[in-house]
Structure 1
Amino acid sequence: MEIDPRRLRVLLAIARTGGVLAAADELRLTPSAVSQQLNKLEDESGHALVVRTPKGSLLTPAGLAMAEAAEEIERALNAARARMESGAELAGVVRVGGFTSFLRTIVIPRLPEWRSQYPQLQIRIVEDDLPALMRLLRQRELDAVVVELDSATAEQRSLPTGMLEEPLLDEPWKLVVPSEALLGTENVDLARLPLPWLGVEPSAANAAVIGRLRRSTGARVETVHQYQETLTALALVAAGEGVAVVPALALSGVVQDGVDVLDVPGLGTRRIVLRRFDRRNSANGPVDTVARLLRESVSAFDTLAVAPRPVAPAHPERRAPS
């Protein structure tokens, strides 16, 4: 049995994404090219490796064995690359993906300190939305990705084979409203606010909060506009266009006239986690060192630096005016 090892990456992509179309997107190939490579790999191995179903592609027992062997090869190559890059002193390039508020407040201010502490360690950051970052992580073009989730709606689905998820921070969601829009309101009914909600980019955790509120209240939660950056949301709120749910971290160091930041029970928390692939026998390697630096930076950050005005949730018999 002679197998072209270059075809193994196609099988790994199918295993990790669950289908030929998704694997083609990951590998930047056409679906027909992926299918051709898979067929050739099956011919070379003499076994059916994938069973196609209406819900996606499943690996056969032979396919699982082949995928495990492919992962061992991938780990060995990564270990060899790490040894070549590191040398005697901790060295190498670690590529970390993340979202704006985390990179701005947790990572970037510490870069000079980390550079001084580890002069041979280069930390490269990539800012993008979650789908793009996870695609780069699966393609091994990123070493780690910082992910935001709405704690109350975070899905407990299994991660791709070999991927680790480490919690970094749970922080409160804040309600941002135009100045004095709810002045004197002691009880806030999130389902009956006097202004519409601002829409947020669908992959952001804020969008999950709005969806959760829509389901839990049974009310029609109207959204207007669509923003991606917190500064855009704050500008829209200040202009009286609507209200927004924003994590505390995103408000750190931000000054915006014309808005009130409220702490409202029922909004829940945002969970921030670090995702990366397991690198066996590399407890002191560059990626593990950067993960430790991120944990230390998070623990030193004070999410209470933003002092919102606390308000109570609305009593069922005392709704805020709509």
Structure 2
Amino acid sequence: MELDPRRLLVLAAVARTGGIAPAARALGVSRSAVSQQLAALEQETGLPLLDRAGPRPELTGAGRLLAGTGEQISRQLAAARDQLTDGRQVRGQVVIGASPWVIARLAAGVARLLNHFHPGLEPRFQECDLTTGLRALRVGELDAAVLADDRDTAVPLPPGIRARLMGEDEYRLVVPDSWEPPAAPRELAGRPWIGAPPQSARGRAFARFAAEHGLDPAGAHLAEHPAAVIALMAAGLGAVVAPTFLAAQLPRATTTALPVGGTLITRVLHREGHAAQDLASRLAADALLQAGRNHLEAETAAGRIAQEIHVRTLRDPTE
């Protein structure tokens, strides 16, 4: 029989993560894609690899055997990457920019990944927002960055910088729970708002929403950091246009069903090129993406993410 090694890698991911859904998130594909690969592998072997009778699928004896083979292939591929990396002598400091929110959640994971796979690289983290992060990338002060932007009005990237999407989130209209939920946006005319700096992603999304519905955002509170938005909403100080992940965290709030156009994208940016520092930049971006997937997996397992995470191929506006 001929076995597709890529399907063995998928089976190994299921064994390593403990299920189809976490394997899908770790691999960056959909659950249906994992299920299809497993079904194809079962057809190739003529053996059941998953016992689907219980509340959650478990590997059969044949499944565990082949998963071990897949893990060996995974280690060999990792060793080959390490050999190539060592040959390029990628060592030294790599500077990573991100918001305080991202640093608090991903810095430790990125450091662990780089220490394990690329011990010659020493990460240094630096707080930045969209404007300062792009400037720092342009002048070479940052090697990689995680920056949020509004898809419809995404800021052009500096030359030689590549973007890879970490996530995409729809906007929601949220009001304090002490307010009567509006049936239409125009009912919020004259009410206070929790806005954001005009150059920020959420600020541009809010300005677009206000213009579409004839609302005057003048005098709105300006809060960019999620903690500030949470505090203002807890005090009932205004309505807000927020991405879904933030809307779910807002206390004393009602998330309306009114449509809000556009999406918030989270981009991992790194330099393109063939110099050693360019490779270090890409390796840091790889670690950021994997740390992001690991963080979502941990939050989901702990029950801190209520909404379902959809895993699909994401394309940057530059693609």
Q: Equivalent of 1:292, from 271, 274, 286? A: 286
5 Å-filtered alignment, 1:1-322, equals 90-154=90-154, 157=156, 159-182=157-180, 185=181, 188-193=183-188, 195-250=191-246, 257-262=251-256, 264-280=258-274, 285-300=279-294, 301=296, 306-307=305-306
Amino acid at match of 1:137: L
Tell me, in whole angstroms, the C-alpha distance in 2 between the residues paired with 1:113 and 1:282. 19
Is the Cα–Cα contact under 8 Å of residues 198 and 223 in structure 1 kept in the other structure? Answer: no
What SS class does the counterpart of residue 285 from structure 1 fall into?
A: helix
**How far does residue 123 in structure 1 lie from its aligned partner after superposition?**
1.4
Q: Which residue of 2 aligns with 1:63?
A: none
Q: What are the superposed Cα offsets for residues 235-258 of structure 1, whole Å, 9 maximum, x if unpaired?
A: 111112112223344568x5x643
Q: Secondary structure at the match of 2:137?
A: helix
Give yes or no for contact 1:153–1:212 (8 Å, CA) kept in 2: no
In structure 2, the residue matched to 1:27 is none
Structure 1: how far apart are the matches of 2:111 and 2:90? 16
CA contact (8 A) 2:90 2:276 kept: no
| Cα offsets for 1:155-203 (capped at 9, x unmatched) | 5x5x433222222221122333323424xx4x64234327321131233
Moved more, 282-291 or 231-240: 282-291
d(CA) in 1 for partners of 2:141, 2:237: 39
Q: How much identity, in percent, do the aligned residues show?
A: 24
Per-residue CA shift, 1:271-290, capped at 9, x if unaligned?
A: 12223332226699322211
SS of equivalent residue, structure 1 residue 149: strand
Deviation at 1:118, TM superposition (A): 3.5
How many angstroms apart in 2 are the aligned matches of 1:172 and 1:273?
Answer: 15
Contact 1:191 1:213 in 2 (8 A): no
Secondary structure of 1:181's partner? coil
CA 1:108 to 1:125, structure 2 compared with 1: closer, same or farther past 3 Å? same
Pair 211,284 (structure 1): closer, same or farther in 2 beyond 3 Å: closer
Change (3 A) 1:174 1:126: farther
8 Å contact kept, 2:223–2:229: yes
CA RMSD of aligned residues (A): 3.4
Q: Which amino acid aligns with 2:144?
A: A
Q: In 1, Cα distance between the equivalents of 2:211 and 2:86? A: 50
| Contact preservation (8 Å) 2:91, 2:121 | yes
Change (3 A) 1:234 1:291: same
**C-alpha spacing 1:200/1:98, structure 2 compared with 1 (3 Å):** same
Q: Which one has a larger percent strand, Structure 1 or Structure 2?
A: 1
Question: Cα distance 1:214–1:179, how it changes in 2: closer, same or farther (>3 A)?
Answer: closer
Unaligned runs of 5+ in 1: 1-84, 309-322
**Conserved? CA contact 1:101–1:249, under 8 Å:** no
Whether contact under 8 Å (1:282, 1:288) holds in the other structure is no
**Whole-angstrom distance in 2 between the partners of 1:174 and 1:116:** 39
Q: Which has the higher helix share?
A: 2
On the 8 A contact 1:164/1:277 being kept in 2, the answer is: yes
Change in CA separation of 1:293 and 1:176 when aligned onto 2, cut-off 3 Å: same
Could you state the TM-score of these two structures normalised by the residue count of structure 2? 0.57
Whole-angstrom distance in 1 between the partners of 2:107 and 2:255: 24
How far does residue 136 in structure 1 lie from its aligned partner after superposition? Answer: 1.6
How far apart in 2 are the matches of 1:143 and 1:283?
A: 8
- Output the CA distance in 2 between the equivalents of 1:96 and 1:146: 8
The answer on whether the counterparts of 2:172 and 2:255 sit within 8 Å (CA) in structure 1 is: yes
Aligned residue type for 1:290: A
| Greater gyration radius | 1
Q: CA deviation at 1:90?
A: 4.8
The 1:197/1:267 distance shift into structure 2, 3 A limit, reads farther
8 Å CA contact retained: 2:166, 2:289: yes
For the residues of structure 1 that align with 2:179 and 2:110, how far apart are their CA atoms? 37
Instruction: Tell me how far apart the structure 2 counterparts of residues 262 and 116 of structure 1 sit (CA, whole Å).
Output: 44
